[in-house]
A and B are shown apart, each in its own frame.
Chain A
């Protein structure tokens, strides 16, 4: 393993973070179970949830590592992953699998197995949200879910996807608590029928403020004790400063740059210990949040760029110390990674609309370049106002090949947010979190609810609603492929099948939302999201200023090329009959080489700037958007769409037979809005032009992967034109683009000899991962993504 980090301290901390085997940490589950046994029925549910966080922070094992400047671990030590039995009560089999699996492994010790068996399972099995969800879903929903038409985000993890606002940099939690108590004082029990619910929720929020303040106070004490025992003078000094920091934050607003980072980190720990929300509460616009503190400290000569960078590097290690909560089943398949998607957006613009790039932005780029860590997901927002030198510096890092930073289009994000009803100021404070999902940070609860397998809907359409893989009748009976006499008839059936599946998904979501609202409020998260306090409502119950639900469409490349293959060869050119095609699909193209050749090599395909195929893409996208965007959700907001896959395109491919575009059975479908692998043959500008024909502004995020050989981005021209490619895509309203810059040869070698390529990181979807941590199918998929090697 290579040593990285600006000095010995960082190098040691980074090495520990990268080399430690993640393990399960049951401490939280134990404390939570005791709290529930003691208080369930006595406290209201919101207060009970706050009590769990309070008890955990009161009793948890603390950890200050050697040399650390930013303190606090979610578990007992770095790389300890908490469990959340109230959401997903793991079976012993689950735990064995986590311990035994080769990829995304979590070590589980004997004691944990015993405790899970004797205490956790008997108490939580039937109380868990996962159990409640599965037992309240309809047969139709279950059938779609089990056969890979869609996934469900909330069966093992809490609703999250939110990113930090600037509130806690300007208000300590003592003040926030006072604000909450004030709101309780002013509740109108005479007229407001929800007043008592609000009181319960607000009391819970106040308790949650106590919880985080207690955590800070305990760390202050620990740092002081350690300082007393420390013989090294320099370290003693640092520990005393840490103690001082923890006495100021999070109870009070930070006074320095160092304290600002520390207070963010306490907030991060609290959000992600309260529940295990998706995407791990990113700090969001970290450069803008930290800049006022940086400016003040530099002015007072308390801070220089070296020290500022060192503290950032300490924070980066903290992120990397927290693997995503252990997942199992379909949730593991759709998101098979340790990465927890805390997606930092650097650059962009300020709330007043001016250029947002500042010195901290450049320090963050230096930090990601130096650290080369999977977490946090470090990305840039590029606006028309972003200076070229910032874009160039970002390209310089990106072309090193490991996928960070990815590039987000500020103007597109803002327009998307405005279209979804946000105010201009809130939109400008927003960004893309998780993979690419747009949100008004600090004031929006925007929940990804699951992936939709669009190519599989076409598979159902061609088979009279029957799933040829499972043999189950999933969709309505609308006729077989051979019954459709024109492309229009086929399209009509496809649209009806899509409507049917989406309705099932949304009906299920409606039930799940209510389950979370009722049983799993998140009072801590609610303290820092506008307007939960003023409304007296929980984040999971509609308290946020904006409430959005997303469904993520997957496989637009595969479904477009499949429809194009049918339209072109069967209806337009009579190259072969529908009977022949259906037989070829059934036989996985074995013995149908000519048909395969025609659909694979002689049919218009998405990704080549070819209007024949691209018009079909727009048609599919339009139909999907029309069916989802703007529908009401249970929290008073609306549905929106995203076009992204994480690792779900691999799973969705597994559950499918061959597709009409020549994709063989069970291989991954296309990812994000990228063309099908190998389909795009006219270079990156053609890909970008095709992708730009999608109406990105109707989405809440799209994901485009580009793979380059190193030669294409080499030299000054390579770098400059990479920047111009990004700018041009963004001029055309593209939402996001990311690059893998690596030789196919190297990936093949790494597959053969993973031990020699331990450091090899590649871009997967909206995140980067170690190549060795990917499943074979995903490795193959990345190797086969079209490599643009024009020069």
Chain B
């Protein structure tokens, strides 16, 4: 087992994902590359630099401190050669304007447990707990994740797993006893579209979902709704047909309208944003799809969250 895992963020007072007041731990690295992803820094499995070249005043402090000599000045602005950058973070502290930030810090199980316990009083009052998310938590070292889940369970902290579903079935089987609820994503049923927009097939994802449901897991199905990808009656009907035919026991369906708040991060990571083509579905449409799910026998449908 790895001693540590890379974490992009630990967010407290999460009230729209899962139940109650929750602390969400975002693991770094994801096997999917959804084009609409609003946390692009969580895709890569290595530490990454987020900078903000536009605001750089060219003071050179970062250039001097970089041990990998990855930074040079171009047009009086710090330019980082990302191939040379090791993500060590030396420059972070020296940027007077706090424009440089490393995404991905190593945490031990104990450190994550301690962070999670900080809001215990809030979990208790609100019926909340911890959500392991990402990136993709199921793509992290499973022994590490298992150890963390066991520890949280032993000390009575509720755990949810927010997952895209792409992992060996064995991994789900092992963590199942320690997970209260799975927040399980379904993007789009058409396999070709799935490959086009996320980079991978959905076959395994759907099989895993079916198996999880058969194994008795408590599941919230979460559907990111992007107008151009799955924002149609047909696409929604496809999902409904699937979950009905496979008898997926979904406690709740969440329709998550696409938003572009993550777009600025792409530039900060030096990668191209492909999401300009995407749009948020109309509120009426969302309400309409909500009704479709309800008619199909899933009374708990939530828009957003």
Contact = CB atoms under 8 A, between A and B. Distances in A.
Interface string B101-129: 00000000000000000110110111000
Contact of A597 (B20, B95, B118): B95
Nearest to A575: B93
A732 B119 CA distance: 12
Interface string B185-209: 0000000000000000000000000
B15 A598 contact: no
Given A594-B61, A717-B305, A683 B98 contact: no
Interface stretch (B6-14, B222-230, B268-276): B6-14
A717 B12 contact: no
B87 to A, nearest CB: 18
A264 to B, nearest CB: 36
B11 A718 contact: no
A791 B124 CA distance: 20
B94 A790 contact: no
A45 to B, nearest CB: 54
A611 to B, nearest CB: 10
Residue from the set A593, A598, A728 with the largest chain B CB neighbour count within 10 Å: A728
B21 A686 contact: no
B96 A728 contact: no
Interface in A583-641: 593-594, 596-598, 601-602, 609
Interface residues of A, number: 29
Contact of B96 (A597, A683, A788): A597
Contacts of A727: 125
Contacts of B121: 689, 728, 731-732
A583 B192 CA distance: 64
Nearest to A689: B118
A501 B87 CA distance: 50
A577 interface: no
A718 B304 CA distance: 12
B55 interface: no
B74 interface: no
A732 B121 CA distance: 8
A721 B12 contact: no
Given A685-B12, A732-B121, A721 B126 contact: yes
A126 interface: no
Contacts of A597: 93-98
Pick from A712, A724, A731, A790 the residue with the most CB of B within 10 Å.
Answer: A724
A576 to B, nearest CB: 12
B16 interface: yes
B122 A725 contact: yes
A683 B12 CA distance: 6
A596 B96 contact: yes
Contact of B125 (A609, A682, A724): A724
A601 B98 CA distance: 7
A725 B21 contact: yes
A718 B15 contact: yes
A717 B93 contact: no
Contacts of B14: 790-791
Interface string B11-37: 111111000110000000000000000
Given A596-B96, A602-B93, A724-B125, A791 B16 contact: yes
Interface in B143-163: none
A594 B94 contact: yes
Contact of B21 (A594, A685, A731): A685
A172 interface: no
Given A594-B94, A601-B98, A790 B11 contact: yes
Interface in A623-668: none
Given A685-B119, A724-B125, A717 B15 contact: yes
Interface string B50-74: 0000000001010000000000000
Interface in A762-791: 788, 790-791
B124 to A, nearest CB: 8
B301 to A, nearest CB: 14
A717 B95 CA distance: 38
B96 A724 contact: no
A284 interface: no
A49 B95 CA distance: 66
A686 B98 contact: no
A728 B125 contact: yes
Contacts of A686: 12, 118
A685 B118 CA distance: 9
Nearest to B11: A790
Contacts of A720: 126
Interface of A: 593-594, 596-598, 601-602, 609, 682-686, 689, 712, 715, 717-718, 720-721, 724-725, 727-728, 731-732, 788, 790-791
11 contacts: A593-B59, A601-B98, A685-B13, A686-B12, A715-B304, A717-B15, A718-B15, A720-B126, A724-B122, A725-B122, A791-B15
Q: Nearest 7 CB-CB pairs, A to B? A: A724-B126, A721-B15, A683-B13, A593-B96, A683-B12, A597-B96, A728-B125
Given A593-B96, A682-B12, A721-B126, 12 more contacts: A594-B96, A597-B94, A685-B13, A689-B118, A715-B304, A717-B15, A721-B20, A721-B21, A728-B21, A728-B122, A728-B125, A790-B13
Interface of B: 11-16, 20-21, 59, 61, 93-98, 118-119, 121-122, 124-126, 304-305
